[in-house]
Amino acid sequence: MALLLAALSAVALSLALESAQSFLPARVPSNADVLANVAGAAAGALAAALLGRWLLGGGPLQRLRAHLLISGAEADLGLALLGLWLFAQLNPATLLFGSGDLRDLFAGAVGERHAAELFVSIEATITAANLAAVALLASAGARPGAPVFPVVASLIGLALVVKTFAVAIVMRAEHVFAWLTPGALLGLAAGAAFVMLAIWLPRTARLALAAILLMAATVLVNLAPPNPYFAAMLKVWEQGHFLNFNGLTRLASAMWPFAALGYLVYLAAGQRRKPLR
């Protein structure tokens, strides 16, 4: 029944999208698109039907979650936010771990001449602050006694893999590590060193510190001058059919820190209520 409902939902959604394109002069509806969309959705539904119980219904992922994370909606919401953060790393047009850039949503940036050292220090600060904030946010949902360091290291490592994969897909092979700039390297080292110390703070202090780091990094992202070196690297990127996907990842990157701040406030409010129970 779940497989049938998923396939029928895909049929309805795909037909609605293709029908709407009939009213757009720049778009051409296609039966082949409907078939491809439905085939992909059916394949995903079949995979979920075959593997769902093994993965979730008492399977290894469910047991791993119970071992590492606290129970309840707080941890589930945190997992969703971290998944969205990983998705935002698929946009190669953002600095490493840089998020919250609202300038492109309102007006284009104007380039100015600055020393290269300025951009290295800005990128290092943004990378370090966001790395530490994400690590502290991830640790907030950890169960007492859980191995936090391996979890955080795995999360950051996965984000770097996603970033590399994104650059490899949309750029030529020789640019696959173009994101690994001197500023990014310095920021990774500084952020990792900071996390090694901050992770031992009480949970309330970690929540407050993560919020402060997120706000500081978001402000810096929006106040920083455009980086001409980074723009020159992106000239080899031909967006093509990735244009809409790029817009989606850019939107996720722009909105993520604000959603994360709301989540941290929610966790802090729950932390204050616990002693009253």
Sequence spans of domains, the chain? 2-55, 73-276
Structure token pair of residue 93 = 């047009």
Task: Return the top range by mean pLDDT from 4-8, 50-54, 108-112, 238-242.
Answer: 4-8
Distance (Å, whole) CA 119 – CA 84:
27
pLDDT at 239 over 70: no
Distance (Å, whole) CA 4 – CA 6:
5
CB 131 within 8 A of CB 160: no
Please count the other Cβ atoms lying within 10 Å of the Cβ belonging to residue 146.
Answer: 15
Distance (Å, whole) CA 41 – CA 36:
9
Task: Return the top range by mean pLDDT from 70-74, 88-92, 117-121, 125-129.
Answer: 125-129
- Over the stretch 143-155, which tens digit does the pLDDT of each residue have? 888 888 898 999 9
CA nearest neighbour of 187 among 95, 113, 254: 95
**If 0-12 CB within 10 Å is exposed, 13-18 middle and 19+ buried, where does residue 30 land?**
exposed
Q: Is 69 helix (H, G, I), strand (E, B) or coil?
A: strand
- Residues listed for the chain: 277
pLDDT at 269 over 90: no
pLDDT at 186 over 90: yes
Q: How confident is the model at residue 275 (pLDDT cuts 50, 70, 90)?
A: very low
Distance (Å, whole) CA 2 – CA 277:
40
Higher pLDDT, 78 or 62: 78
- Residue 228 is predicted with a pLDDT of 65
Q: How confident is the model at residue 277 (pLDDT cuts 50, 70, 90)?
A: very low
pLDDT at 106 over 80: no
- Stretch among 72-81, 90-99, 131-140, 195-204 having the lowest mean pLDDT: 90-99
Distance (Å, whole) CA 21 – CA 14:
11
Structure token pair of residue 108 = 């284009």
To the nearest 5 percent, what fractions of the chain are helix, strand and coil?
A: 75, 0, 25
Share of the chain above pLDDT 70, in %: 83
Angle of helix 243-273 relative to helix 73-88, nearest 10 degrees? 150
CB 195 within 8 A of CB 138: no
- Over the stretch 20-75, which tens digit does the pLDDT of each residue have? 888 888 777 888 888 999 999 999 999 888 887 776 666 677 777 777 888 778 88
- Stretch among 13-22, 33-42, 111-120, 140-149 having the lowest mean pLDDT: 111-120
CB 94 within 8 A of CB 88: yes
Q: Is 142 helix (H, G, I), strand (E, B) or coil?
A: strand
Distance (Å, whole) CA 110 – CA 152:
37
CA nearest neighbour of 217 among 110, 78, 96: 96
- Residue 231 is predicted with a pLDDT of 59
pLDDT at 212 over 70: yes
Instruction: Say how many CA atoms lie within 13 Å of 260 toward its Cβ.
Output: 33
